């Protein structure tokens, strides 16, 4: 490499480093100022109504603003924190502006009608004052979801492997899957509540049904699409049928299986809410129905926020499980 090239690289590096730090500083401080502006507007502007948690919401926004500003200054010396701030700063600004607009059009000027559109501090009030009931609903929903999802995923996986591997099983199971699978699980509500002895067991069965169909179909597809050459090589080395299924077919089909698991999780969440509205005495679906019955729209929105966070957390956990189990396929799986 020539001396001119080395000199040009040496001149470019500090400039790039300085620009990145300046951009990080502007983005981080802008996000901090946005949250501090939200805190000031919430605390100082007069309200069109009477909301008990206004000052609490303003204090939380102020703490977030100061924390972002402090993290920005620390991030200038920490590469890991700097990358997180650089990536998240636009979203932090957008969230602060969203809450500010929400605050202005509801609590301050009431451009949106109450009680259908409560302000942010009303949602905060639900979490602070009704948190115990909401947490109990989350626990019951999570228990019901985990049991139903585990049963459905297990049955769907076993059936999918059997259909994909055995021509005989596929002959009998394929018409049933084509007839039963496309029907929404909620369509079986009357039959489920008649067959099963309790609403909890009926809801578990419906969640399992919503999970089992996509897992079965995608597992079946994964098993059927395994390269036949893999089996030939394994047989040449003396592999038995159990080895071909457990060590060749299933590992090669796992990417398809996880697609089915993701689809089953979203479907089971939808069935969970509907099932909990019919017969159970606790859960997020029950909580939503109770809030609608009392026109407690702030409670309803709080439950929806909790459901979104819960579903996102479960999907994140499933992604991490997929990354762990499919680490040997890293670079091949792109979703």
Q: What is the pLDDT of residue 279?
A: 66
* The pLDDT value given to residue 285: 87
Q: What is the pLDDT of residue 12?
A: 39
Say whether 251 sits in a helix, a strand or coil. Answer: helix
Does the structural domain 131-329 have CATH classification 1.10.3720.10? Answer: yes
Measured distance between the N- and C-terminal CA atoms of the chain, rounded to whole angstroms: 40
CB 265 within 8 A of CB 149: yes
Give the pLDDT of residue 329. 66
330: left (phi over 0), alpha (psi -120 to 50) or beta: beta
How far apart are alpha carbons 106 and 100 in whole angstroms?
10
Residue 102's CB is within 10 A of a number of other CB atoms, namely 17
Burial (0-12, 13-18, 19+ Cβ within 10 Å), 25: middle
pLDDT, position 306: 94
pLDDT value of residue 23? 58
Q: Determine the pLDDT at residue 231.
A: 87
Cα–Cα distance for residue pair 131/283, rounded to 1 Å: 13
* Cβ-Cβ contacts under 8 Å for 108 (sequence gap 6 or more): 41, 45, 46, 47, 48
pLDDT of residue 4: 41
Contacts of 214 (CB under 8 A, 6+ apart): 156, 260, 263, 264, 267
Q: Which two tokens stand for residue 268?
A: 């089971």
How confident is the model at residue 121, as a pLDDT? 94
Q: Quote the CA–CA distance of 46 and 104 in Å, as a whole number.
A: 10
For residue 78, the model assigns a pLDDT of 62
Residue ranges of the chain whose pLDDT lies below 70: 1-25, 75-82, 279, 328-335
Q: Which residues contact 50 (CB under 8 A, 6 or more apart)?
A: none
């Amino acid at each position: 490499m020539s001396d001119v090239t080395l000199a040009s690289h040496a001149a470019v590096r500090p400039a790039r480093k300085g620009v990145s730090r300046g951009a990080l500083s502007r983005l981080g401080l802008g996000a901090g100022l946005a949250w501090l502006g939200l805190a000031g507007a919430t605390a100082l502007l007069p309200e069109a109504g009477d909301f008990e948690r206004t000052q609490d919401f303003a204090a939380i926004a102020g703490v977030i603003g100061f924390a972002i500003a402090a993290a920005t200054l620390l991030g200038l010396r920490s590469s890991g924190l700097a990358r997180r701030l650089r990536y998240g700063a636009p979203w932090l600004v957008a969230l602060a502006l969203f809450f500010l607009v929400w605050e202005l059009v509801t609590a301050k000027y009431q451009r949106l009608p109450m009680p259908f559109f409560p302000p942010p501090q009303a949602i905060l009030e639900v979490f602070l004052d009704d948190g115990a009931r909401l947490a109990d609903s989350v626990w019951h929903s999570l228990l019901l979801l985990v049991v139903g999802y585990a049963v459905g995923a297990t049955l769907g996986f076993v059936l999918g492997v059997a259909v994909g591997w055995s021509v005989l099983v596929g002959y009998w199971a394929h018409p049933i899957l084509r007839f039963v699978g496309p029907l929404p699980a909620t369509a079986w509500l009357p039959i489920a509540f008649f067959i099963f002895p309790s609403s909890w067991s009926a809801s578990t069965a419906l969640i399992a049904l919503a999970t089992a169909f996509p897992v079965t179909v995608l597992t079946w597809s994964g098993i059927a699409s395994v390269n036949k050459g893999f089996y030939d090589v394994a047989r040449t080395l003396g592999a038995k049928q159990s080895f071909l299924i457990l060590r060749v077919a299933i590992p090669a089909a796992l990417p398809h299986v996880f697609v089915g698991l993701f689809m089953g999780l979203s479907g089971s969440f939808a069935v969970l809410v509907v099932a909990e509205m019919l017969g159970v005495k606790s859960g997020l679906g029950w909580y939503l129905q109770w809030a609608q019955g009392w026109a407690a729209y702030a409670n309803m929105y709080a439950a929806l926020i909790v459901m979104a966070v819960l579903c996102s957390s479960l999907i994140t956990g499933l992604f991490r499980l997929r990354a762990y189990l499919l680490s040997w396929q890293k670079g091949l799986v792109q979703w």
